Amino acid sequence: MPIATELYYFSHEAEDLDKKRPPVILIHGAGGNHLSWPPQIRRMVDERIYAIDLPGHGRSEGVGGHSIDEYADNVIDFMKELKIRAAVLVGISMGSAISLTIALKYPRKVLGLGLLGAGSKLRVAQPILETAGNPNTFESAVEMINENCFSENAASGLKQLSKEQMMELRPPIFLGDFLACNNFDVTSQLACIKTPTIIICGKKDKMTPLKFSELLQNGIANSQLHVVENAGHMVMTEQPDMVADLLKQFIDDLPPHTRKKKERTIRDGETAPVQKIESP
């Protein structure tokens, strides 16, 4: 079972991978795990993909984070452990908040941003905060959240699978995720993000309605917004092929990322060029 810095991760690498292509890290949302990402995205054609379980989620040990910043540092530690210099970060909901935070704190680590079901702030309804951490009300909190994650067109089996995944989480970690989201707000910092960004929103998203994605697009200069019909908050599970195609095109269009050739002093003013190294 692949583990790095105590985080479980699913990995996929294309057989004939172009080493110039950036790695992609998928970051799930509150109460989720790496299986929140459908196979069309976890096994995206011609890409190197890492889908992680945050601390305390899925197959990862730990007690979960208490803030988006803490989770962002977990992802950075994961990248350092695997010697990933920089990557495209793709996040859903809380995962998008983590991705935005990394882009602000560690901009050189981010080659592109994929923000799904996203917002520059993620206020959480008080009834969720009051019930999510209590074992006696945990299931009702999960049902409340799960029902609002999908459009009315979503298959019942899809909703059931989502509920089962959330029910596997310990209530204190579930609550911690939503407290972290509730305290997240980078609205005033969006202009600082220069990273190429794709924003994908389900037209019927009830958790982070379209206006949140429009705010992101207006705030991030180098961004594009795609609204997906017949999808709610979990847009990538309701419309996996379309979202995979959008992400693939976005990655294809990213500028190639290479390290600049540098010179290092050898002795007494002599110089020799350092070999050009391609980013992973």
Please tell me the predicted confidence (pLDDT) of residue 199.
98
Instruction: Kindly state the percentage of the chain with pLDDT values over 90.
Output: 87
| CATH number, domain 3-273, options 3.50.50.100, 3.30.1490.20, 3.30.70.890, 3.40.50.1820 | 3.40.50.1820
- Cα–Cα nearest to 25, from 177, 253, 16, 4: 4
> Does residue 47 register a pLDDT over 80?
yes
- Which two structure tokens, joined as six digits, stand for 117? 């079901």
Residue spans of the domains in the chain: they are 3-273
Model confidence at 278, pLDDT cuts 50, 70, 90, reads very low
> Does residue 277 register a pLDDT over 80?
no
Please tell me the predicted confidence (pLDDT) of residue 188.
98
Please tell me the predicted confidence (pLDDT) of residue 18.
80
- Which two structure tokens, joined as six digits, stand for 259? 């390290």
> Does residue 269 register a pLDDT over 90?
no
CB 90 within 8 A of CB 25: yes
> Does residue 48 register a pLDDT over 60?
yes
Mean pLDDT for all residues in the chain: 91
Please tell me the predicted confidence (pLDDT) of residue 257.
63
User: CB-based contacts of 256: which residues, under 8 Å, 6+ apart?
Assistant: 20
- pTM higher than 0.95: no
Structure confidence by residue, pLDDT tens digits, 50-76:
999 999 999 999 999 999 999 999 999
Model confidence at 270, pLDDT cuts 50, 70, 90, reads very low
Range with top average pLDDT, 104-108, 260-264, 273-277: 104-108
